[in-house]
Amino acid sequence: MDIHVVQPGDTMYRLAQQYGVPMERLLQDNQLPDPSQLVVGQTIVVQYPELTHTVRAGDSLYSIAQMHNTTAVQLLRNNPALQGRDLIYPGQHIVVKYASRPRGPLTVNAYAYPYIDPGLLRATLPYLSQLTPFTYRFDEEDLIPLRDESLVNAALQSRVAPILHLSNLDEDERFSAQLAHELLEDEEDQRELIQAILRTVDRRGYQGVDVDFEYVLAEDAGRYASFLARLRQSLAPRGLPLIAALAPKTSADQPGRLYEGIDYRLIAQAVDFALLMTYEWGNLASPPMAVAPLPQVRRVVEYALTEFHPEQLYLGIPNYGYDWPLPFREGSRARSLSNVGAVRLAWERHAAIRYDDQAQAPWFRYVDGQGTEHEVWFEDARSIQAKLNLAFDYSLYGVGYWNLDRPFPQNWVVVNAMADIRPEM
């Protein structure tokens, strides 16, 4: 796999000639909204098929997979134009194998809202090990229902493990320290909530649980770890893992409401896995900067490895960017946008995309129709490659994406090229 950075004068036809691959393959792998609208600084992923199969009448993905000693799921990954469907026709060229080899096994988890576009979900499921619908909430000991049937069923049909997500979001969709505190100081409420979780796991077919309590009070740190340990003990007879999603700490005594109630050492002993939420340095209210700058991400991983084993850890990866108006003023708000939308915005505003080698992230500036300057930071194939390399360099168990609701086709091409995606079912 190569990642080409678009230069002035580049066209998809010229790139196909330069790299010696069919233009159709470049178009299918990158799924650009309009291939004629290339932006200087944009990334194009180039793959080199080693083995292809020409579809004959009566072929199916399953029969082709059997013929070449692979799986139908791997064929879906190798051919993103199929969009997760076994809809092939005679004469079509199916990539069976690429020349590049993955660095190693990786579990790929991703969060999704229940209202995700079904077509986008179907196209993405082949690249996942686990799918985590967001989110079950609770009120004292009661688990508040989530309309998750379609996501769970789609995951199970694709042999992707659905993971139940529990958070301390309140009725206003805000993470509530008080809601967590009331639960954590009442062991009877905890027991009843755990029983409700187990009933839902059994009824829906969930294959694990992910707990994401944020802004836990410092005084509740020990009680939170104890709750996680009780939940893990209850899941163990079913053979189901417990994951904790954790604020991105760089030291045990890190100050701040987001960090003080999250004790990595205690939690490492209480759970099977932890997902490091290594994003949101650049956020809605921050000054312009990368959402997940690599040096900061690395510092979180290195601290986490002082308390967790590498095979316990998932690296969080953001699937979005932000657009900030300039000059930045305290109290101003950025606009969230998709990575694909960021490139489209650069085209519309005639902006060249730059790349920050330290943060390992793309960015650009533009002027809107009212004359206001903006700065945009997002993710591209290069930044995803850098994050996956970090996960491999530290031998982490997996990666977790927040979230699937916006398309990012290049990401999955890079994941497929770099990782032997681990099945969890």
Question: Which tokens in the block code for residue 21?
Answer: 């691959």
Tell me phi and psi for residue 404, to 5 degrees. Answer: -85, -5
CB burial of residue 159 (10 Å; 0-12, 13-18, 19+): middle
CA 136 from chain center: how many Å? Answer: 19
Among residues 214, 307, 375, 379, the one annotated as catalytic is 214
Residue 398: strand pairing partners: 107, 314
Alpha helix segments (H runs only) across 22-176? 23-30, 61-67, 72-78, 118-124, 149-157
DSSP E strand boundaries for 368-424: 373-377, 398-402, 419-421
Alpha helix segments (H runs only) across 134-236? 149-157, 177-184, 187-204, 221-235
Active-site residue flag, 348:
no
Q: What does DSSP assign to residue 238?
A: G
How far apart (Å, rounded) are the C-alpha atoms in residues 121 and 155? 9
Q: Catalytic residue positions?
A: 214
